Amino acid sequence: MSDKKHRLGVSEVNLVVRHLQLEPVDENKRQAAIAEIDQLYGLDCISFDEKSRVLNLAYDASRVNLDNIEDILSAHDVAVSHDWWTHFKEGYYKFVDDNVKENAIREPWSCHKSPPGSGRKR
């Protein structure tokens, strides 16, 4: 485990890092969207690279997912790039986010555990 301190609501176990390229848009709209995303509970950090138009995010995938972020972006008329690579990454990111969320709510399973009601202890 690292010594880095995370924001409230962020578990390092469920922390994911995402990079999304955005379409060119008015700077005020983009900054408003980034400010709103920055307020999400479970978001660790957000930054935007002007030169490459890439939005960099780190968040707890058990609390926040890419759909939440894309909803905020679209509410501010900011679009994610429509190129094939960004589309491919979006699909992968959503798949992983769903798995992290599902694994966070499930109880760990072990084949070495006695079944309930067997009366045996190991």
Binning pLDDT at 50, 70 and 90, where does residue 1 land? Answer: very low
Structure tokens at 84: 């094939």
Q: Which of 29-33, 38-42, 113-117 is predicted most confidently?
A: 29-33
Query: What is residue 79's three-state secondary structure?
Result: coil
* Residue-level pLDDT at 22: 93
Contacts of 42 (CB under 8 A, 6+ apart): 9, 10, 59, 60, 62, 63, 64
All structural domains of the chain with their residue ranges: 12-105
* Residue-level pLDDT at 118: 65
Whether 117 has a pLDDT exceeding 80, the answer reads no
Average pLDDT over residues 102-121: 70
DSSP-assigned letters across all residues of 6-56: --TT--GGGEEEEEEEB----HHHHHHHHHHHHTSTTEEEEEEETTTTEEE
Q: Could you give the CA distance from residue 61 to residue 24 in angstroms, rounded to a whole number? A: 27
Tens digits of residue pLDDT in 51-84: 999 999 989 888 888 999 999 999 999 999 999 9
The domain over range 12-105 is classified in CATH as 3.30.70.100 = yes
Average pLDDT over residues 72-98: 93
Structure tokens at 105: 């709510």
Average pLDDT over residues 32-43: 91
* Residue-level pLDDT at 119: 65
Q: Could you give the CA distance from residue 103 to residue 119 in angstroms, rounded to a whole number? A: 28
When comparing pLDDT for 118 and 101, which is higher?
101
Contacts of 51 (CB under 8 A, 6+ apart): none
Whether this model's pTM surpasses 0.85: no
